[in-house]
Structure 1
Amino acid sequence: MKPTSLSPVALKGGFLLSLLFALPASAAPCGRDPAGFESWVAGFRSEAVGEGVSEATVDAALRGVSYNRSVILRDRAQGIFHQSFEQFSRRLLSPSRIAKGKALLQRHAALLGRIEQEYGVPGAVLVAIWGLETGFGADNGNFRSFDALATLAYDCRRSERFRAELLDALRIVDRGYMSPAQMRGDWAGEIGQTQFLPSSYLKYAVDFDRDGKRDLIRNIPDALASTANFLKANGWRRGAGWDEGQPNFPVLLEWNKARVYGETIARFADMLAGGSGGGAE
């Protein structure tokens, strides 16, 4: 948390000291260039230990962490989400992606049926998300997650949000779910075949094949079932439709707040399901 800014000139004596001692320990203020990054990381290390993360984990995960300028450039260049639905979906719903989605829907029919039985989310929706997020696991991203998350946590645009995600990434390591080296993904810190932020991993990742690991990077059953668990936990209604105006469309917006992205998930799922909305409503 960014500390409250106080002017020593405006405060005197014991009143100043009482206010300073009352302030919570926290990382250094956010920054808009790399100059203060190392100092910020040093402050964040202490904050993370204060939040209950072991010193060993903090040292292992943040050793050598570096400011990544390309992360900031990508964060500032998200104009694609301001495109019309026609422009956006035409770019993402290529004939080859649609064909591969249909093939994978058939190949994993038994798995997807078990997932739907447990979570109520149809396979067409899960395969649509899988295809749009990473090309069905072909491109999970290759950014070092701790570099990406620390860069965004330090940057002033969304520092509070990504400070929390960085803490959750440390908790993933601290609990033994993944090692720092395994945590590689997209530029905003998402990991796995359907791109979970660390907070979502901790809340929704499941070990669907019961092999003792919640592996969203290499394990298709875990990745798809975790996605279904996310949707169910955010209000997915079994048997209801997912197109705009239907009960489950707002749940797609919980997956991604950009309406054009939710609309594209719905359209892709319609194509895979061979109908409109997939539900009775």
Structure 2
Amino acid sequence: MLKALALVASAALFAVPAVAQEQCGGDFGAFVRGLSDEAVQKGFGSAEARQFFGGVRQDPKVLRADRAQGIFQMPFIDFSRRLISQNRVQAGERNAQKYAEVFDRISQDYGISRGILLAFWAFETDYGAVQGDFNTVNALVTLAHDCRRPDLFRPQVFAAMELFRRGDLDPARTTGAWAGEIGMVQVLPSEIVEKGVDGDGDGHITLKTSAPDALMTGARVLAELGWRKGEPWMQEVDMPSDFAWEKTGLETWMPASDWAALGVTPRSGKLLGPDLSSAILLPQGKDGPAFLVYPNFNVLFEWNKSFTYVTTAAYFATRLEGAPVYDAGNPSPALSDDEMKALQQKLSARGHDVGAVDGILGAMTRQAVQKEQARLGLPADAWPTRDLLNGL
């Protein structure tokens, strides 16, 4: 699935030159020829460009996948139960033991928990078993040609060419995700070029076949995105029934010890990082699961922008490190897709910026929901209910 990692490629290799480009859209063949000419201007050989682009084909399946990411409309409980199985938990435990030496190196070099990397490894490719069968070069060129996000994908084409030059990508055979991500933890070519780590010492960075390469690279990416070494990211908590719910959400941060003073208690174990800044996260409102999250949680949004995905991955990471299954509680039923879109339209009409009216409960929609709940005298827990929809 498409991540929102830092995709600014190195200026010397991937920047758009100060010459005319073949723009997105239009004739696909002409577009590819333009890319080939641009590659030569960037310093690639003519023979390299012919070999790299010679077999490129537009892939309509990539465009369909890009426009059909409905899984992110699922609420946290449904989504997490879909992604987290006992088999995945047990496989995570086995891989933690199998690659213990690699995880020890990661902890020492980057300070990143094995739980976090195992969670992404599980969700992205089922620990390497399902890495995607889209031709990587076709996917990247198709998305660069598509006018939806050409500036995001065009640099990735030239990063893939650099991997080809190094012998780490085959234009005809390398496959991955629909968005051009490669390997066990699914990273884009520019990240492999700039942040790839040869974890197994064989002189190549092969994220498709080498778990040490993939895990070390994923760790370096997270570290450079701002992961704070050795700090927690999430802890399940119990909330007092009379809590001031408007204080919850990712807009209000204070030391964990201050939340404890307000009656917030860890569901198991002791309070992590009492002096660390933290926020209360209620994925499905006051009657559902509750988590205390720390600054490292926000770093995960640089890996994937989906609130539901990040919350599930962060929770699964704690589970892989010994936390119990969360208390699902009894949250109010989720709104249907049509109801969510109607709610977003009503929120937008009241002046709130909710982004696209897409039926997805993202960060901006949550903030707007919380403000309107407070205005209407409803529990301001950012979980949209039919009472709120009717009240608007």
TM-score by length of 1: 0.84
- How far apart, in 1, do the equivalents of 2:123 and 2:153 lie? 23
Report the equivalent of 1:79: 70
Task: Return the letter of the residue paired with 1:217.
Answer: K
The one of 29, 34, 39 aligned to 2:23: 29
- How far apart, in 2, do the equivalents of 1:59 and 1:206 lie? 29
The one of 51, 65, 71 aligned to 2:56: 65
Displacement of 1:144 after TM fit? 1.1
**Contact 2:160/2:169 (8 A) holds in 1:** no
1:218-237 matches, cutoff 5 A: 218-237=209-228
Task: Return the letter of the residue paired with 1:250.
Answer: N
The one of 168, 172, 179 aligned to 2:170: 179
Displacement of 1:44 after TM fit? 1.5
Gaps of 5+ in 1: 1-22, 277-281
Whether 2:294 is the aligned partner of 1:246: answer: yes
Displacement of 1:254 after TM fit? 1.1
Displacement of 1:24 after TM fit? 4.2
**Contact 1:26/1:44 (8 A) holds in 2:** no
- How far apart, in 1, do the equivalents of 2:23 and 2:79 lie? 37
SS at match of 1:137: coil
**Contact 1:121/1:228 (8 A) holds in 2:** yes
**Contact 2:119/2:313 (8 A) holds in 1:** yes
- How far apart, in 1, do the equivalents of 2:111 and 2:57 lie? 42
Deviations 1:187-222 (A, max 9, x none): 111111100101111121101221111111111111
- How far apart, in 2, do the equivalents of 1:163 and 1:275 lie? 42
1:39-188 matches, cutoff 5 A: 39-188=30-179
Displacement of 1:64 after TM fit? 1.7
Bigger Cα displacement from structure 2, 47-56 vs 160-169? 47-56
Go from structure 1 to structure 2 and tell me whether the alpha carbon gap of 1:148 and 1:218 turns closer, same or farther (over 3 Å shift): same
Report the equivalent of 1:215: 206
Q: Size of the alignment, in residue pairs?
A: 251
Deviations 1:134-180 (A, max 9, x none): 00000111211111101000001011111111111112212333332
**Contact 1:26/1:43 (8 A) holds in 2:** no
Task: Return the letter of the residue paired with 1:154.
Answer: H
- How far apart, in 2, do the equivalents of 1:123 and 1:197 lie? 21
Go from structure 1 to structure 2 and tell me whether the alpha carbon gap of 1:58 and 1:270 turns closer, same or farther (over 3 Å shift): same
Deviations 1:228-269 (A, max 9, x none): 111111111111112263021121111112121111111110
Displacement of 1:118 after TM fit? 1.4
- How far apart, in 2, do the equivalents of 1:230 and 1:76 lie? 27
**Contact 1:30/1:40 (8 A) holds in 2:** yes
Report the equivalent of 2:180: 189
Go from structure 1 to structure 2 and tell me whether the alpha carbon gap of 1:261 and 1:26 turns closer, same or farther (over 3 Å shift): farther
Task: Return the letter of the residue paired with 1:183.
Answer: T
Task: Return the letter of the residue paired with 1:220.
Answer: A
- How far apart, in 1, do the equivalents of 2:178 and 2:61 lie? 8
Report the equivalent of 1:18: none
Gaps of 5+ in 2: 1-16, 235-291, 325-392
Provide the alpha-carbon RMSD of the alignment: 1.8
TM-score by length of 2: 0.61
